[in-house]
Structure 1
């Protein structure tokens, strides 16, 4: 039987992940997932572990008020309030999208600038300012917060075990930053799924996930692997004209609640 074996949330884009037992869904995926982002103060360009590897050590925990608690080695933690309706809007760029979203304020800006080592701002995206998903996939009204292209990422546990075997050592699931992990399927079975149901929520499988050098960053230390693994192995045996694929992007068709252990049904 297929089951939901793990849930992960990443409140801050490219920050540390949270391991969850249950979570509600909204229009943008898991409640609170990648609703916050760091941007270069001058350009508004988004920052991730691809260029700033130490972000893997930045803990950003979602709190009950909808705000964020930031902490990192060598830095005192700070509580950031959810920006109000009167918050300053900042122009930001994420991939090809440009949008204006609430800035978290000067105290937050000073903290993240000290951590990153250059002038940086923290921004948040409310539901009414969300982006549309990658063109050509899914429906025209599908939306996403600050995730790269789609609200949710799913990976099969057997797929992780397969890449670990190829690399020759265990690979941490958090290297691949999924939201949902499915146990009980064969390796890469998720490549063939089109629609699934978990609990009362149906999901559309809209696009394979093209991986990048971020997978080589150890999620605990922030250090890159000397042999470029697991990215090097993915390029050898999971390569397509669109990149090295691992995992599937999803869109949820309704709100609801997910809980680890729930059965997973393949609808199509």
Structure 2
């Protein structure tokens, strides 16, 4: 039996995540997931790849506000309204090769993050009328969208997959190294990477592409520091396809609903992946 065991959102891309008991599934991801983004003066997105200290910023959400604190208390908490900014002066920001329409949140938010990071940055928000399409090679209808995520609206990982990886590591790592939205218990290690159509509660998802992993997996999410080559190095010795190291499955959604911890997972159909190329990077 497969069962949903964790739900995570990351309201501001590359900041710490929030664990949820239940969540509303929307077409661009779980509600509030990666709807905010930090960009530099040129409008290019910031991530832990270049700035691992972003992991030290902890968001929380209530009915009205997104509140952000710093784990070392170097600044007072910042409160940002969950209601989108009330102006329509779009700025264009870049996430990888995508140029996206966004709204600058506020001068206060810009100054708060700039002070905390000791560099000039801006906080922007993706409004409902900003539509960022996923790669059409992996789309279902060609109309699927995502938020400020790297590429897809949902990422699922099985606890068995992490357990198998940790059995190969000298020092165990937590699931938060991989920043999933959905975690499930039960089943075989890495089986999620073969999912094609799957139902979680009453919501239906399609597996479109295993997730290629990067250097962010080597950053401890509690300390905001790089801890060495693992777990990426060890993954590369047995989870490599071509030049990509895979861990987890990207999903698109076809039936929207609310999901909650303990929901059963029904794998409706699977697909075979290309044979892994075993090599050490």
- Give the SS at the match of 1:154: strand
- Give the SS at the match of 1:112: helix
Provide the residue aligned with 2:148 in structure 1.
146
How far does residue 87 in structure 1 lie from its aligned partner after superposition? 4.5
Distance 2:168 2:58 in 1: 30
Is the Cα–Cα contact under 8 Å of residues 32 and 62 in structure 1 kept in the other structure? no
Gaps (5+ residues) in structure 1?
none
Distance 1:130 1:175 in 2: 28
Distance 1:83 1:187 in 2: 40
Distance 1:253 1:161 in 2: 30
How do residues 16-31 of structure 1 correspond to structure 2 at under 5 angstroms?
16-31=16-31
How far does residue 60 in structure 1 lie from its aligned partner after superposition? 2.0
Alpha-carbon displacement from aligned partner over 1:10-37 (angstroms, at most 9, x marks no partner):
1110010111111111111201001001
Alpha-carbon displacement from aligned partner over 1:42-74 (angstroms, at most 9, x marks no partner):
x10000000010000111223322x42111121
Provide the residue aligned with 2:59 in structure 1.
60
Return closer, same or farther for 1:135/1:115 CA change in 2, 3 Å cut-off.
Answer: farther
Is the Cα–Cα contact under 8 Å of residues 198 and 265 in structure 1 kept in the other structure? yes
User: When the two structures are superposed, what TM-score results if normalisation uses the length of structure 1?
Assistant: 0.96
Is the Cα–Cα contact under 8 Å of residues 154 and 250 in structure 1 kept in the other structure? yes
Aligned residues: 265
Quote the RMSD (CA, aligned, Å).
1.2
Distance 1:53 1:235 in 2: 21
Provide the residue aligned with 1:7 in structure 2.
7
Q: Which of 214, 219, 222 in structure 2 is aligned with 1:220?
A: 222
Provide the residue aligned with 2:34 in structure 1.
34
Distance 2:250 2:243 in 1: 14
How do residues 175-194 of structure 1 correspond to structure 2 at under 5 angstroms?
175-194=177-196
User: When the two structures are superposed, what TM-score results if normalisation uses the length of structure 2?
Assistant: 0.91
Provide the residue aligned with 2:50 in structure 1.
51
Is the Cα–Cα contact under 8 Å of residues 84 and 127 in structure 2 kept in the other structure? no
How do residues 218-257 of structure 1 correspond to structure 2 at under 5 angstroms?
218-226=220-228, 228-257=229-258
Gaps (5+ residues) in structure 2?
270-281
How do residues 109-188 of structure 1 correspond to structure 2 at under 5 angstroms?
109-139=110-140, 140-188=142-190
Is the Cα–Cα contact under 8 Å of residues 87 and 104 in structure 1 kept in the other structure? no
